[in-house]
Structure 1
Amino acid sequence: MNKHSFSTLSEAVNTLTSEGFKEDFEAGETSIIALYSKKEYDPSELKILGTYRFEGETNPSDEATVFALEASDGTKGTLVMSYSAEHGQNVELIKQIPNAQE
């Protein structure tokens, strides 16, 4: 799905939202949480449709990745993972989400 070339994180999220990726996901302690619907998903219930990386120009903590996700129930959304020390995402849980492109 990586059919886009985005310049900024906000451009990526806005474009993906306009394409139907309306939910915001967050990797919690034991599950991936859909912030609007409050549904919780096991990583196996999701798949990564696209991955978009953004490099910080001067500060490595500005680096981030946007994942375009689809749940087994058809819910589509994005998960933004920052590489700063205070990102708060469960990275190990995110790594368990299967990539549909592989």
Structure 2
Amino acid sequence: MYDYTTLSEAISGLQERGYTYDFNLRPDCLHCPELDRQLSPDEFTITETYRFEGMSNPDDNAVVYGIASNDGLKGTFVDAYGTYADTVSEQMIQKLNFRR
């Protein structure tokens, strides 16, 4: 694991190591808009996780995930500490370790 001070440093570091795609969360998958590709929870692995906490504002809390698909697609997913936890499937909650 690497040590990053900011969210943007973590994203840049991951991109430098080949995590080039951005993923968005959907209720039952991660979606890569650039490729119009969806990954269900059993089609990807979380390879790295970095958490950041805002010093003065809890809304600044975030986590960036390094994501690798089973067939080698690599990218990042950024979440504001479980903001989406009530709108995703139980499988996605378990995969991303959201807390309700």
TM-score normalised by structure 2 residue count: 0.82
How much has 1:95 moved relative to structure 2? 2.9
Specify the alignment match of 1:34 in structure 2: 32
State the Cα distance separating 1:93 from its structure 2 match.
Answer: 5.1
Higher RCO by CA contacts (8 Å cutoff, separation 6 or greater): 1
Segments of structure 1 that go 5 or more residues without pairing to the other structure are none
Question: In the comparison of the two structures, how many residue pairs are matched?
Answer: 97
- Within the candidate set 71, 93, 96, 1:95 is matched to 93
Residue by residue over 1:32-89, the C-alpha shift from the partner in whole angstroms, topping out at 9 and shown as x without a partner, is 1012111011111010101100001101110000000100111000000013868xx7
Distance 1:15 1:83, change over 3 A: same
Quote how far apart the aligned CAs of 1:30 are: 2.5
Instruction: Report the counterpart of residue 3 of structure 2 in structure 1.
Output: 5
User: What amino acid sits opposite 1:18 in the alignment?
Assistant: E
Q: Which deviates more from structure 2 when the two are superposed, residues 38-47 or residues 28-37?
A: 28-37
Instruction: Tell me the distance in 2 between the aligned counterparts of 1:27 and 1:51.
Output: 16
Aligned-CA RMSD value: 2.7
Identity %: 35
Structure 2 regions of 5+ residues with no counterpart? none
Runs (4+) off by over 2 Å: 83-86, 89-99
Q: 2:68 aligns with which of 57, 67, 70?
A: 70
Relative to its length, the structure with more helix (as a share) is: 2
